[in-house]
Amino acid sequence: MPFFTLTATDGDARIGTLHTPHGDVPTPAFMSVATQGSVKALDSSDLQNIGANIVLANTYHLYLRPGVDIVEDLGGLHGFMQWHGATLTDSGGFQGFSLEHLRKITEDAIIFRSHIDGSEHTFSPEAAIQHQEKIGADIIMPLDICAPADSDFDAVDSAVDKTNRWLLRCVEAHTRTDQRLFGIVQGGLFPELRRKSAEFITGVGFPGYSIGGLSVGEPKQAMYDTVNSQRRCCCLICLRSHPDGYMFDCVLPTRIARNGSLFVKTGRLNITAAFNKRKYAPIEEDCDCYTCRTFSAAYVHHLFRAKELLAYRLATIHNLRFILRLMEEMRAAIAAGEFAEYRREFHSRFTPPDEQTRRDQKQKWLASFGRA
């Protein structure tokens, strides 16, 4: 069976299926992030109940803690977190950007100082693959260089070249045939470099392609334009995206949930706001998530106000289910040839947070890098 089966197209939109050793993943898909082997506040049975098919973990974080040998001994990421669906690991390349103050990049590798204890760790392309083979996700990523948004043409060009050299070393180092190594397109905001990167990577040939080097400080529109220009070569997009990337950001739904910001049809609801104190209906009347089927908005409001730990779990369940349902609806709309209509309908009712809110979130996000 091929790794990816295309089921239907509707204009530029398409639906399909990724076939992994741990089940099929219908696309377009949303991947919840389990950075350290846990989608924050949830366990694997929660994820299954929400309808998740795939989760994403981080090599850099699992390498530092608990260590990839321990994850391997426990049966890899699947056994470690007892998640039996599909998995993907990021290589550590993104931490080469986000932990900029804790790393240097040589010709050979990214050298990190641990954000936990300051110890030094060398991530060569080969090491990044070996760690990921121990973690054992179904889809793994090559080690790449993520140039900051303000890099000039030559710097990005040189990052693309080095990423390409590293990519060949990753391909060489990759031995597990049950794991799919993806390519990652780099090239910043320079269409010429994006093209150069894409041509090189598709020339090598991979079962799937990610778009990298975005959401690293560039304006939102530039990010959208770049994604747009590359969408035909990629079956998974926005793996790494900050809150401006909005709907597909892997951490956004869970992180804002823990702050009490909950997705509803019309946008976001602040559950901690006083007007929810006596909202005896669910957070959203016809939401099919466990939280809404079981509890009143007033109860969730109370849990947040009282700082009860349960608040974070119930809010996370709601937000993830919202996003996964959105994916389901999008796939159904594409299958029915009604995607343009669905999209119009969605945007006509859903008001994203204003720019100030986004900017505040982004600041928080950037400030969190030292600890992330």
| Chain positions contacting a second copy, by CB under 8 A | 36-38, 40-45, 65-66, 70, 73-74, 80-82, 277-278, 280, 294-296, 298-299, 301-303, 305-306, 308-310, 312-314
Residue nearer to a second copy on the CB measure, 194 or 313: 313
Residue nearer to a second copy on the CB measure, 264 or 298: 298
Residue nearer to a second copy on the CB measure, 66 or 217: 66
CB of 77 to a second copy, least distance (A): 11
* Active-site choice (12, 24, 90, 150): 90
Active site residue 152: no
Antiparallel, parallel or unpaired: β 32-33 and 261-264: unpaired
Q: CA-to-CA distance for 133 and 176, rounded, in angstroms?
A: 7
- Tokens for 211? 């778009």
Residue nearer to a second copy on the CB measure, 182 or 299: 299
Residue 93 annotated as binding site: yes
Measured distance between the N- and C-terminal CA atoms of the chain, rounded to whole angstroms:
38
Residue 91 annotated as binding site: yes
Q: CA-to-CA distance for 134 and 372, rounded, in angstroms?
A: 22
Residue 203 annotated as binding site: no
CB of 306 to a second copy, least distance (A): 5
Residue nearer to a second copy on the CB measure, 15 or 64: 64
- Tokens for 66? 């608990």
Q: CA-to-CA distance for 323 and 312, rounded, in angstroms?
A: 17
Residue 208 annotated as binding site: no
Residue 144 annotated as binding site: yes
Residue nearer to a second copy on the CB measure, 98 or 316: 316
Active site residue 249: yes
CB of 83 to a second copy, least distance (A): 11
CB of 80 to a second copy, least distance (A): 6
CB of 298 to a second copy, least distance (A): 6
Residue 95 annotated as binding site: no
CB of 114 to a second copy, least distance (A): 13
Residue nearer to a second copy on the CB measure, 102 or 298: 298
CB of 299 to a second copy, least distance (A): 6
Residue 94 annotated as binding site: yes
How many of the other CB atoms lie within 10 Å of CB of 12?
10
* Active-site choice (10, 178, 249, 288): 249
Residue 158 annotated as binding site: no
Residue 297 CB partners (closer than 8 Å, separation 6+): 271, 276, 279, 280, 281, 282, 283
Q: CA-to-CA distance for 334 and 8, rounded, in angstroms?
A: 7
Active site residues: 90, 249
Feature table: binding site for Zn(2+): 287, 289, 292, 318
Feature table: binding site: 90-94, 144, 186, 213, 287, 289, 292, 318
Feature table: binding site for substrate: 90-94, 144, 186, 213
